[in-house]
Structure 1
Amino acid sequence: MTTGTTKTTGQAPLIETESQFCAFFDDPRWALAIVRATVLEAAHPQIGAALADNSTFTTHPWRRLRNTFLSMRRMFDTDPAVREREAARLNRLHTRMSGSDSRGRGYDAMDRGARAWVVATLFESAVTMCRLSGQPLDQDTMERLYAEYRAFLSALDGDAGALPEGLNDFWRYYDRMVQDELENTEAARVILYRLFDHLPAPALLEGAPTLWAAGRAVVGPLLGTITVASLPDAYRRKAGLPEVPGAPALMQGAYLTAGLARFLPAGWINAEAIIETLSLRPDSDDPRARTVAALRTRIKRAAALVRLLTPVDDHAGPAQASAAGEDRRPARAFFHQVLDQTGDGYLDWPDLAAMARELATRLDLDEPEETRLYEAFAAWWRELQSALDSDGDGRVSAEEYAVGVPSLAGPALIRVAEVLFDATDKDGSGAIDADEYRTLFRTAFHRDLTTSDGAYGRSAFVGDFLSFMSGRRTNAPYDPLLADA
């Protein structure tokens, strides 16, 4: 396992004035390419096992997208201090992920070969993206782009030795990996056949489940077909992926259409703004919330029309239940919406680690605050396991949780609330002010949480957190904190 030390002395800058990689950030083609790269990553046995055990990409894909985009922005920032800090954060995150797959083979998220493959898939998918959209990169541009990706790996691992130094050697390495190392993993199958079909609505579209379901029923299979058609032939044969008539033409058309965005005026497409807008909730104090509210009104009107034409079950989600004033959701609903972060149907340590990871990301924690938060969640997991794991299988089922729900608000959960309060209270004033509140919840104070001095005290914070995490009642700011898709 590597130490994750970042070497900067004597290295060329990671970001040049005209970075080819940064030019892709706001390119619509990148959305197709990143899905393709993710499938190839998941097909690696170690990465696939780590994703299956630890990732929230199936249950909270929009949150994962937002965090990944933010991380990539930081890793390719022009300020070396920003890059080094983010590299250190990623290494701490990956150090906490290790285990065994279903065949008993060990995996380690800090494995240098696996990390190199992640970078390799991003580079190769970028090259393929340009080729499929009729704008192939010339040799010099490919070499500059490859150098940027190797520098990215160097920032994480301390050097880029796990990837070949030259571009010609890279293609031999890539072909060998596809032919000899990749497998038809569970994680790859989930992305191709489950994620698109069950993709939850982003916050913007939560109020229109019928419209979202109708659109997803059409777009989901198309995205899956396009992604499969874009994968290397050798992997498609090995994984037994279907050959759909017309799929290559559909794929080519999708990339060519996305490539037309190059004719739009500069700045018309901003991926960060799009992702942020999708994440906004109607009660947010963000100025863009007015636009979101107007969009939601139009979407609801469209949804009403779609409902008349294609009736679909329209179950209220957590946000709707809260808005309707319900004080408490059923125990099983809370289990699946909040506690089961990885979506495997059980509560175990990776679920609580995912909560700690999301909270640490929102608060942008450094050491030792980050470790303190993880340790508090680990202690809570031990308390939960002791109280709820009646069959001794090392995890908690929805049935076990429903029976033992009164046991949730123990001393360890109180400690989690206290540690989270201290991490949010950046200035150590003993109360969370408006800016600190916005950092954690991404919205302004709610009237029921403010006090006469305009701050959120420790006892009120701890009480609200315990009430929410023990499933006693819904809570407007805490629901999107851990339940948002």
Structure 2
Amino acid sequence: MFGPGSQFDEFFDDPRWALAMVRATVLEAAHPQIGAALIENSTFVAHPWRRLRNTFLSLQRMFGADDQVRLKEAGRLNRLHARLNGTDAQNRPYHAMDPDARAWVVATLFESAVTMCRLSGQPLEQSVMERLYLEFQAFLAAMGDEPGHLPPTLHDFWRYYDRVVEEELENTDAMRIILYKLFDHLPVPPLLNGLPTLWAAGRAVAGPVVGAITVASLPESFRRRAGLPDLPGAQTLMHSAYLAVGLARFLPDGWIQAEGIADLLALSPESDDPRARKLTDLRDRMQRAGALLRLVTPLPPPPEPTAGTGTRRSAEEFFQDVLDQTGDGYLDWPDLAAMARELSGRLDLDEPEETSLYNAFADWWRELQAELDGDGDGRISAVEYVEAVPAMAGPALIRLSEVLFDVTDKDGNQRIDADEYRALFRTAFHRDLTDADGTYTRSAFVRDFLTFMSGRGRSTPYDPLLAEA
């Protein structure tokens, strides 16, 4: 059911899968429980590229051939989901461990894979479809869910799918954000940070197109009930897009690899990866060409560099770039929990170390709340943060830095070596960080982490970790 030879493995590098994943995410977000969990806890608005790469890595682990890796990833996902619960805007409870909601996530992935083949003119044969459905059932079982939340047969699945679409899906805030805000305001990937104008121009064209294609691919009955616009020519555009993207499958082997593309989008310009250096060089040449073009054309001069380009950032910038992980304009527990999730995932922590890291973030949140939540509403606004101008790290943040050092220092020798450093930062050591013996000491790590997290300065390793999209 998993690994090479599985039906899902054949789809993994299929470029049409990108469109199918967007469609599946919209259908997930339209489920009230899932939509509420996304709005309250997810970083998909402020950090979509990071979220994309983490989702890809998780699918890779779950559908890979290694049973131990799959078991560990399932445990990690279950611990993550167990922490996501609350009430939505209509005061309805939600919980990410709800078995019906989890089954719907798997159902949208399966149905969107079937739909992507149909829309691109290559519908799956019945036997292939049945095998793919068995694989997704096995995926849900690997997560530890009891059988029965997905129908036992493919024939029964379509009745289940139609019922959920007709009776349970809603025009949720999360769905509208994905369709009408995320694509239009998609932040620049880390590697293209130096080309904001180029990115903005491409996004202005591609964003509405992706949104229109996604809306046109949704079930017609749901589109009508949710009041989603039926734009003229959208159906033709949708079929053309799936056909055109599908043609990329016929490129030479190795040209289209999902893993390589996901890694590339997540690369920071400061990374030691050779691909980052090549693309950074290309970006620099494009910038020089743009400067030459401005010399010979009567265009207005570019804006002056802002303070954000230096080694220090303002309190407002730090709040927006680092603290507000969910992008809702406030700092509260879901923001710090998102940091804990990112760090735990990068370090591939087991349950005890993961729990200690979450607890350290929870202690820091209580410290921040006590010091900065002036109006007592349970969250910290940008104004409250800026007015307080926190200049010194408190005891809880110091403790957090020590816990992060301990879980990164896998061998417990009180030094972070090159491999441990790469696991956290996904790049090689910077010379100014290492001690004389080529390692990162506890005191240096704690000092640098506190400098960054107290908002006093930019950091080559920490910005890609927590600040970049």
**Pairwise same-fold verdict (TM > 0.5):** yes
Give aligned pairs, total: 467
Alignment partner, residue 95 of structure 2 = 108
CA contact under 8 A between 1:211 and 1:306: conserved in structure 2?
no
Q: Kindly indicate whether residue 405 of structure 2 is the aligned counterpart of residue 418 of structure 1.
A: no
Match of 1:29 among 16, 19, 34: 16
The code of the aligned residue for 1:28 comes to P
Q: Please report how far the alpha carbon of residue 328 of structure 1 lies from its aligned counterpart in structure 2 after TM superposition.
A: 1.8
Q: Please report how far the alpha carbon of residue 20 of structure 1 lies from its aligned counterpart in structure 2 after TM superposition.
A: 1.1
Q: Kindly indicate whether residue 196 of structure 2 is the aligned counterpart of residue 205 of structure 1.
A: no
Q: Please report how far the alpha carbon of residue 472 of structure 1 lies from its aligned counterpart in structure 2 after TM superposition.
A: 1.2
Which has the larger displacement, 392-401 or 468-477? 468-477
Which has the larger displacement, 449-458 or 339-348? 449-458
Alignment partner, residue 294 of structure 1 = 281
Q: Distance in 2 between matches of 1:78 and 1:46?
A: 31
Alignment partner, residue 169 of structure 2 = 182
CA contact under 8 A between 2:367 and 2:396: conserved in structure 1?
yes
TM-score, structure 1 length as denominator? Answer: 0.93
CA contact under 8 A between 2:425 and 2:465: conserved in structure 1?
yes
For residues 190-339 of structure 1, what are the structure 2 equivalents within 5 Å?
Answer: 190-301=177-288, 321=309, 326-339=310-323
Match of 2:454 among 470, 475, 480: 470
Q: Distance in 1 between matches of 2:277 and 2:459?
A: 23
The code of the aligned residue for 1:33 comes to A
Alignment partner, residue 342 of structure 2 = 358
User: What SS does the corresponding residue of 1:99 show, helix, strand or coil?
Assistant: strand
TM-score, structure 2 length as denominator? Answer: 0.96
Alignment partner, residue 7 of structure 1 = none
Alignment partner, residue 71 of structure 1 = 58
Q: 1:408 to 1:382 in 2, by over 3 A?
A: farther
Alignment partner, residue 483 of structure 1 = 467
Alignment partner, residue 145 of structure 1 = 132
Q: Distance in 1 between matches of 2:434 and 2:260?
A: 29
The code of the aligned residue for 2:173 comes to E
- What do residues 413-444 of structure 1 show as CA deviations (whole Å, max 9, x unaligned)? 00110000001111111111111111111111
CA contact under 8 A between 2:20 and 2:116: conserved in structure 1?
yes
- What do residues 232-254 of structure 1 show as CA deviations (whole Å, max 9, x unaligned)? 00110111001100000000000
The code of the aligned residue for 1:96 comes to R
Q: Distance in 2 between matches of 1:182 and 1:310?
A: 49
User: What SS does the corresponding residue of 2:143 show, helix, strand or coil?
Assistant: helix
For residues 359-378 of structure 1, what are the structure 2 equivalents within 5 Å?
Answer: 359-378=343-362
Alignment partner, residue 35 of structure 2 = 48
Alignment partner, residue 96 of structure 1 = 83
- What do residues 327-353 of structure 1 show as CA deviations (whole Å, max 9, x unaligned)? 321101100000000000000000000
CA contact under 8 A between 1:210 and 1:314: conserved in structure 2?
no
User: What SS does the corresponding residue of 1:394 show, helix, strand or coil?
Assistant: coil
Q: Distance in 2 between matches of 1:48 and 1:438?
A: 34
User: What SS does the corresponding residue of 1:137 show, helix, strand or coil?
Assistant: coil
The code of the aligned residue for 1:340 comes to D
Alignment partner, residue 429 of structure 2 = 445
User: What SS does the corresponding residue of 1:472 show, helix, strand or coil?
Assistant: coil
- What do residues 89-127 of structure 1 show as CA deviations (whole Å, max 9, x unaligned)? 000000000000000000000000000000000000000
User: What SS does the corresponding residue of 2:389 show, helix, strand or coil?
Assistant: helix
- What do residues 236-293 of structure 1 show as CA deviations (whole Å, max 9, x unaligned)? 0111001100000000000000111232223221111111112222221122223222
Gaps of 5+ in 2: none
Q: Please report how far the alpha carbon of residue 310 of structure 1 lies from its aligned counterpart in structure 2 after TM superposition.
A: 8.7
Q: Distance in 2 between matches of 1:76 and 1:22?
A: 8
Q: Distance in 1 between matches of 2:246 and 2:301?
A: 35
Gaps of 5+ in 1: 1-13
Alignment partner, residue 433 of structure 1 = 417
CA contact under 8 A between 1:42 and 1:187: conserved in structure 2?
yes
The code of the aligned residue for 2:361 comes to F
Identity %: 69
CA contact under 8 A between 2:99 and 2:145: conserved in structure 1?
no
Q: Distance in 2 between matches of 1:171 and 1:312?
A: 58
User: What SS does the corresponding residue of 1:417 show, helix, strand or coil?
Assistant: helix
The code of the aligned residue for 1:290 comes to R
Q: Distance in 2 between matches of 1:240 and 1:303?
A: 43
Q: Distance in 2 between matches of 1:266 and 1:482?
A: 34
User: What SS does the corresponding residue of 2:351 show, helix, strand or coil?
Assistant: coil
CA contact under 8 A between 1:211 and 1:303: conserved in structure 2?
no
The code of the aligned residue for 1:125 comes to S
CA contact under 8 A between 1:210 and 1:312: conserved in structure 2?
no
Q: Distance in 1 between matches of 2:350 and 2:183?
A: 34
Q: 1:400 to 1:124 in 2, by over 3 A?
A: same
For residues 383-422 of structure 1, what are the structure 2 equivalents within 5 Å?
Answer: 383-406=367-390, 409-422=393-406
Alignment partner, residue 113 of structure 2 = 126
The code of the aligned residue for 1:26 comes to D
Q: Distance in 2 between matches of 1:297 and 1:221?
A: 29
Q: 1:355 to 1:311 in 2, by over 3 A?
A: farther
User: What SS does the corresponding residue of 2:86 show, helix, strand or coil?
Assistant: strand
Q: 1:314 to 1:253 in 2, by over 3 A?
A: farther
CA contact under 8 A between 1:112 and 1:157: conserved in structure 2?
no
Q: Please report how far the alpha carbon of residue 179 of structure 1 lies from its aligned counterpart in structure 2 after TM superposition.
A: 0.4
Q: 1:251 to 1:473 in 2, by over 3 A?
A: same
The code of the aligned residue for 1:483 comes to A
Q: Distance in 2 between matches of 1:276 and 1:317?
A: 29
Q: 1:312 to 1:158 in 2, by over 3 A?
A: farther
CA contact under 8 A between 1:284 and 1:443: conserved in structure 2?
yes
The code of the aligned residue for 1:259 comes to G
Q: Distance in 2 between matches of 1:311 and 1:305?
A: 13
Q: Please report how far the alpha carbon of residue 85 of structure 1 lies from its aligned counterpart in structure 2 after TM superposition.
A: 0.7
Q: 1:197 to 1:310 in 2, by over 3 A?
A: farther
CA contact under 8 A between 1:225 and 1:244: conserved in structure 2?
yes
